[in-house]
Structure 1
Amino acid sequence: MLIAFGGLPGTGKTTVAQTLARRLAAVYLRIDTLEQAFIVSGSSQADIGSVGYLAAYAVAGDNLRLGLTVVADSVNSVHITRRAWRKVASDAGVPIFEIELVCSDGTTHRQRVEGRKADIPGFQLPTWNSVLERRYEPWESVHLVVDTAKVSVEQAVEAIMQLLSPASPQTRTV
């Protein structure tokens, strides 16, 4: 199964995705890690976003075809990336479970963004203004919505675990 996360920076994607991946003993793919590796290698800044996603799609596909569950952690803010994750799952012949994290409390969201410390060496964290200005398209697909202003990491992961088998064919909010 492919579990594809999305949501603006500071909503808790990485924390929830890592916790879920540990619990499932799943392969964990983080776009930020891939993008930072490309930056360190001297790749052009202009293409980092697309290169990071393309690398993640390829690695996810390899692991899915091996029969492993993959947890993909990315902002996943536009239709094209969401469709690409669905294609990766389809090409590998596995189901996809899509999860959007939101933080409905603007003050909490801002504090998270402004109070974070980079856990990837050299990684440039987004500013609150860059989060507000980010292009973020509404989701078209069936997915789970988790509001991290209302639930803890543990509650979010537990809700996801309950829905994974079988995955619910409707959009839900936690």
Structure 2
Amino acid sequence: MKRPILYIFSGLPGSGKSTLAQRLAAETGAVYLRIDTIEQGVRDLCHYNVEGEGYRLAYRIAADNLQLRLNVIADSCNPIELTRQEWHEVAIESDTECVDIEVVCSDPVEHRTRVEQRISDVKGLVLPSWTQVTAREYHPWKSGVITIDTAHKSIDDSYNELWQTLTDWCSQHTGSVS
């Protein structure tokens, strides 16, 4: 039986990461885990000030699905080395492959416009301002990440680039994207 894949999406708000992650989930049938949804659910249902709990819940849900041999797409800012390592630990403990995907928008004017014009699709979630996005702690990747730059590209063009890059990655690591 083929090993499942944990697709770990990362990137600042407004980069296009959720759009690409959701499309990949829809096209592959992978389980989709969005940290924004999990954290907002904890806030709404438990009246709790969420910090790292959303990630820790997502790790457990991801592990459950990977153990069922299902591919999982993790959608989060994943801004620091700690969360990146913890996602990798989920893959290792689940005996699965994992691939890091960073989505960026390299044009600050376009990125700002996206951030300022976004409408939340998670009920109750207050989206960050441009000032909050640019002030967010976000560590540069050291290595081993697929980077998709969505600046000046359509969603289709960005997704096609992602798909081709993942196809190439998977042919080297697993044999198929599935």
- TM-score w.r.t. structure 2 length? 0.89
CA shift digits 1:32-85 (9 cap, x unpaired): 00000000013431xx13100000000001101101010110000000000011
The yes-or-no answer on 1:13 pairing with 2:20 is: no
Cα deviation, 1:105-126, whole Å, max 9, x if unaligned, reads 1111001001011111111100
**Aligned residue in 2 for 1:108:** 110
Q: Which residue of structure 1 lines up, in the alignment, with residue 176 of structure 2?
A: none
Partner secondary structure for residue 76 of structure 1 = coil
Code of the residue aligned with 2:17 in structure 1: it is K
Aligned residues: 167
Q: d(CA) in 1 for partners of 2:154 and 2:92?
A: 32
Take 1:161 and 1:144, find their aligned partners in 2: how far apart are those partners? 11
* Structural mapping, 1:152-171, within 5 Å: 152-165=154-167, 167=169
Report deviation, 1:166: 5.2
Cα shift at 1:141 = 3.5
Structure 2 residue runs of 5 or longer lacking an equivalent are 174-178
Which residues of structure 1 form unaligned runs of 5+?
A: 170-174
CA distance in 1 between counterparts of 2:95 and 2:153 reads 32
TM-score between the two structures when normalised by the length of structure 1: 0.91
Percent pairwise identity: 43
Across the aligned residues of Structure 1 and Structure 2, the Cα RMSD in angstroms comes to: 1.4
Q: How does 1:46-57 map to 2 (within 5 A)?
A: 48-57=50-59
- CA deviation map 1:86-133 (0-9, x unaligned): 111111111101100110111110010010111111111001000011
2:95 aligned partner: 93
SS of 1:39's equivalent? helix
Q: Which runs of 4+ in 1 moved over 6 A?
A: none
